[in-house]
Amino acid sequence: MQQIEHLMKKNIPLLQLGDSLEKAINLLRIQKLDALPIVDKTGSLIGAFTKANIMDAYLAGVSISEPVENYCTSQVAKLHLDFPLSLVKARLMKNPTGNGFVIGNNGTVLGMLDKSTMVENLLVENEQLLMRIDTLCNNYFAGIIFLDTNNQIKDVNRMAENILGISDNELIGRSFYDVAENLDMNDIYLNSFDMFGLKLRINGVETISNISVINYKSTVIGAIITFLNAESNYLFLEKFDQLKRWDKSFRTVLNVIYESVLVTDNKGKILYVNKALCEFLGKPGDDLVGKSINGLAISSSIYRVLHSGIALKEEAGINKLNGRLYVMSIIPIIKRDKIQGSVCMIAYHSIEELTEVSKRLLQLESNTIDNTEKTSGSITFNYFITMNNYMQNLKEEAKLAAKGKSTILITGESGTGKEVIAEAIHNASPRRGKPLITVNCAAIPDNLLEAEFFGYAPGAFTGADKRGKKGKFMAADGGTLFLDEIGDMSLNLQSKLLRVLENKRVEPVGSNESIAVDVRIMAATNQDLNAKVITGEFRQDLYYRLNVINLQLLPLRQRKEDIIPLVEFFINKFNRGQNKQIKALSNEVRQIFLNYGWPGNVRELANIVERATTYASGNQIELKDLPLYLREPHIKTLPHPSTLKNETISNQIMELNKETIKKALNDAKGNKSEAAKMLGISRTWLYENIRKYDL
């Protein structure tokens, strides 16, 4: 019940019988909803008015004074607070409008749910699950290697790197046969059986390994190999050989590891326990998952980590519970400077085993932070590929600019490489050992921008972190702050940014004290800031403050000589990532690339080459490997931004030939996702054209 209450949109306006179309349309626009409920005199739901109904009324040419009930739908999904989410999802998916209304016991409308809300909730749950799995995997004491059915190494954990003495970059993408001796995985995949206690030599290291086949919908999709160093882990080998057969997913791995594992959210609610933990506490999993840790002997230690964000390693030495000795490590799960939960790992066996476990627990590090603001160090000017005279001169100017402290404004169309040159400048500057913090000004809501930029003091506003938060300026102290899409910044924040640039001090939200910062500013935009200054949308004084050094990147269509060198660069890059041996383009593809206008610039070129590399079956990219809109000359592409001028986007959007769409749908046997891939367009775009041509 709490989940539906949390997800649904509340306090939505109700339409009454007799209300006009004009009122209904205005409410939809103001509330930014896809549908509104229609109720009778008693407040009971009798139908819904949707955006589709607006189109029906418009096409019928009726007056907006018409009553709303003449153009509504009675096919509404009625939901109740006690419905499980699985039933809610099923009803929303079956409903043609994609909307559902939550009804109270008296029949009145309490709120509204739609498909987009459910999808968003699913994505959040998936992200949290992946985060927990990643934390557990990288803090697991044994090495783990994930393979696909082609025996290509897809991922490894940190312990695998330590045991094998080789980095993940040197392992991922390689064939497992390159590093493992005398092992045939084909029989394992064919018979779908698991192997345990296998003596296996991996990268010259003798290991004791377990191999588990992963099945998805009765199809083998890969395998998980877990291993210990045979020479240095004798105390673990005896227990490792006794592990039960693993199931077909990573969750089962957690049920056979040495430690007891308990995962909580930031409120102390138990999200996951493995079998060892249930045995340790003497309780079944159903009595633990979904409940609070209150009442458990280990709860005080977990709450301490949740409140402080500091990991507890080998907490309180050797402890005793129910006559059993144990050692415990608790690691906070932190993302974007906020505590999301905790992972508690408990080892309890004999004193001899505990001695060995204690040594290992001391090595655990709580580096589970999803640090999106890390120091850069990978992109250099070598990544800036160009044969164009203008761009080569710009590259040299950028190298000179990197040595100074002046602000830099990078301009150019989307996809021209503004972020690449910004990172290259930072990495060539004296600040390269300090953070490069990137902020997309268009991606952060206006009401949060100030707090994101300047941080906030403890308790600055309702819902604020009790410890306060550093802003982007303080995070970039000593380094570089890259403001992408600067043209979308509000005038209010522009004035505050100007003050920081002039005074080199920031004042966190809710604080009366200013803090000195040493930050170099780089900004980028695909808009004409000079024109925005004229229209009053951008401050003139800030424009001149940012435009000390201006680097104007050319669109790809104006530097055709760069297309083939860039293609060769991307082919080499994707060859390594996909284990391919593609050498070149066919003559036909080469001509298409040189003649195409590339409205998406270098970013579009990279995407096309990646797609073609994936589909290519030989040693060169052929015509068949390209998206349909590049193969079919009669298909129009998106216009260049310079040609849009006063025309509306709807008039400029790609138009696809009806026969081309029909052919793609036939070739894909009606699978719209596959047809969209063949056409090189999004599925939404395909649906628009299907409706347009009434297919």
Q: Rg for the chain (alpha carbons), in Å?
A: 30
pLDDT at res. 631: 81
CA 117, 120, 124, 125 dihedral sign is positive
pLDDT at res. 233: 54
pLDDT at res. 446: 66
d(CA 26, CA 247): 55
Spatial CA neighbour of 504 closest among 540, 478, 468: 478
Mean of per-residue pLDDT scores for the chain: 80
Percent of the chain with pLDDT strictly greater than 90: 23
Looking at residue 640, what DSSP letter applies? P
Instruction: Name the fold adopted by 139-255.
Output: Beta-Lactamase (3.30.450)
pLDDT at res. 419: 92
pLDDT at res. 20: 92
pLDDT at res. 351: 45
Q: Is 442 left (phi over 0), alpha (psi -120 to 50) or beta?
A: alpha
Least confident segment among 37-46, 349-358, 680-689: 349-358
d(CA 5, CA 582): 53
Looking at residue 368, what DSSP letter applies? -
Domain 381-552 has CATH 3.40.50.360: no
| pLDDT higher than 80, residue 314 | no
CA 381, 384, 387, 393 dihedral sign is negative
pLDDT at res. 525: 94
d(CA 56, CA 66): 13
d(CA 665, CA 669): 6
pLDDT at res. 462: 60
| pLDDT higher than 50, residue 687 | yes
Q: Is 394 or 346 the better-scoring residue by pLDDT?
A: 394
Q: Are 72 and 62 in contact (CB under 8 A)?
A: no
pLDDT at res. 254: 53
Mean pLDDT of the 580-609 span: 90
Q: Is 357 or 270 the better-scoring residue by pLDDT?
A: 270
d(CA 99, CA 75): 10
Per-residue exposure over 261-275, b if at least 16 CB sit within 10 Å of its own CB, e if not? bbbbbeebebbbbbb
Spatial CA neighbour of 57 closest among 72, 38, 71, 73: 71
Spatial CA neighbour of 629 closest among 600, 649, 669: 600
Architecture of the structural domain at 259-361? 2-Layer Sandwich (3.30)
Using DSSP, state whether 440 is helix, strand or coil.
strand
pLDDT at res. 249: 42
Most confident among 118-122, 310-314, 339-343 (mean pLDDT)? 339-343
| pLDDT higher than 70, residue 355 | no
pLDDT at res. 365: 33
| pLDDT higher than 90, residue 522 | yes
| pLDDT higher than 80, residue 497 | yes
pLDDT at res. 378: 67
Mean pLDDT of the 493-516 span: 86
Q: Is 49 or 468 the better-scoring residue by pLDDT?
A: 49
Domain ranges of the chain: 2-113, 139-255, 259-361, 381-552, 576-693
Structure confidence by residue, pLDDT tens digits, 537-582: 999 999 999 999 999 999 999 999 999 989 988 998 888 888 888 8
Q: Is 598 left (phi over 0), alpha (psi -120 to 50) or beta?
A: left
| pLDDT higher than 70, residue 248 | no
Structure confidence by residue, pLDDT tens digits, 261-302: 888 998 999 988 888 888 878 888 888 989 999 888 888 888
Structure confidence by residue, pLDDT tens digits, 470-489: 888 889 999 999 999 999 88
Looking at residue 294, what DSSP letter applies? T
pLDDT at res. 319: 64
Q: Is 25 or 324 the better-scoring residue by pLDDT?
A: 25
Q: Which strands form 219-229's sheet, in the order they lie side by side?
A: 153-156, 143-148, 219-229, 205-216, 195-202
pLDDT bin (cut points 50, 70, 90) of residue 636 is very low
Tokens for 285? Answer: 């999993």
Pick the CATH number of 2-113 from 3.10.580.10, 1.20.1600.10, 3.30.70.360, 3.90.180.10: 3.10.580.10
Establish whether domains 139-255 and 259-361 are of one fold.
yes
Show the CA angle centred on residue 305, arms to residues 303 and 311, nearest 5°. Answer: 155
d(CA 196, CA 225): 10
Structure confidence by residue, pLDDT tens digits, 651-669: 333 445 677 778 778 877 7
pLDDT bin (cut points 50, 70, 90) of residue 642 is very low
| pLDDT higher than 80, residue 201 | yes
Looking at residue 97, what DSSP letter applies? T
Structure confidence by residue, pLDDT tens digits, 152-197: 999 999 889 988 988 888 899 999 988 887 788 887 888 777 888 8
Mean pLDDT of the 634-659 span: 45
Element (H, E) at 120: helix 115-138
DSSP string, 462-521: TT--TT-B--HHHHTTTSEEEEETGGG--HHHHHHHHHHHHH-EE--BT-S--EE---EE
Mean pLDDT of the 135-143 span: 81
Structure confidence by residue, pLDDT tens digits, 20-50: 999 999 998 888 888 999 998 888 998 999 8
Element (H, E) at 220: strand 219-229
Global pTM value: 0.43
- Which residues sit opposite 324 in a β-bridge? 321
Architecture of the structural domain at 576-693? Orthogonal Bundle (1.10)
pLDDT at res. 282: 83
* Burial grade of 34 (CB within 10 A; 0-12, 13-18, 19 or more): middle
d(CA 102, CA 87): 13
Looking at residue 291, what DSSP letter applies? S
pLDDT bin (cut points 50, 70, 90) of residue 680 is low
Looking at residue 292, what DSSP letter applies? B
pLDDT at res. 93: 78
First to last CA, the chain: 41
